[in-house]
């Protein structure tokens, strides 16, 4: 069972990123343009918000706290928010703006990445919830800005 948790925690995010790229590459011209515009705003916004959150919220990793041993190697730094979960859920949310079904599937896979990170002992659940929240907020802000200025 450990191999599955390690897969969720360390490899599944690659599946989500590649799937997001494939949706982009095989989309319509208008769809690609819209995904590009949302990505151009949402991804940097998610990154900036995550760095700000990392500065404001201290969440020692579970293996540092002594709650459990980590299944994977990781630096003993602040665990808030989970970068893997942030990336995957942001990609899923961006895709959701153009394709609800595929976006929903990618968001669920992103949540599985987060679950894997918790079960592998490198994050607490709050780190995952924080990442999901930041991803949704960043994507929502990107969509609002694009609609407001009709860019």
Domain ranges of the chain: 2-149
pLDDT-derived band of residue 1, with 50, 70 and 90 as boundaries? confident
Cα(80)–Cα(82) distance, integer angstroms: 6
Per-residue pLDDT for 6 more than 80? yes
Alpha helices in 1-124 (DSSP H): 2-10, 12-25, 29-56, 62-65, 83-96, 100-119
In a 3-state reduction of DSSP, which class is residue 29? helix
Cβ partners under 8 Å of residue 94, min gap 6: 20, 35, 38, 39, 42, 43, 103, 139, 142
What average pLDDT does this structure show over 53-61? Answer: 95
What average pLDDT does this structure show over 87-116? Answer: 98
Cα(107)–Cα(29) distance, integer angstroms: 24
In a 3-state reduction of DSSP, which class is residue 61? coil
Name residue, tokens 């020692």. Answer: 60
Cα(24)–Cα(10) distance, integer angstroms: 23
% of the chain at pLDDT higher than 70? 99
Query: Mean pLDDT highest for which of 60-64, 76-80, 93-97?
Result: 93-97
Q: Using one digit for the tens of pLDDT, what is the confidence trace for 123-142?
A: 999 999 999 999 999 999 99
Residue in 53, 18, 62, 61 with CA at minimum distance from that of residue 133: 53
């Amino acid at each position: 069972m450990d191999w599955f948790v390690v897969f969720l925690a360390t490899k599944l995010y690659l599946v989500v990123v590649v799937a997001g790229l494939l949706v982009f590459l095989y989309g319509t011209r208008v769809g690609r343009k819209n995904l590009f515009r949302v990505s151009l705003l949402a991804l940097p916004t998610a990154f900036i918000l995550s760095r700000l959150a990392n500065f404001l919220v201290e969440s020692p990793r579970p293996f540092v706290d002594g709650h459990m041993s980590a299944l994977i190697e990781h630096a003993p730094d602040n665990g808030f928010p989970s970068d893997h979960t942030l990336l995957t859920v942001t990609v899923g949310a961006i895709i959701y703006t153009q394709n609800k079904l595929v976006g929903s599937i990618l968001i669920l896979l992103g949540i599985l990445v987060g679950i894997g990170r918790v079960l592998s002992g490198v994050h607490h659940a709050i780190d995952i919830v924080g990442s999901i929240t930041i991803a949704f907020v960043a994507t929502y802000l990107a969509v609002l800005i694009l609609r407001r200025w009709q860019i």
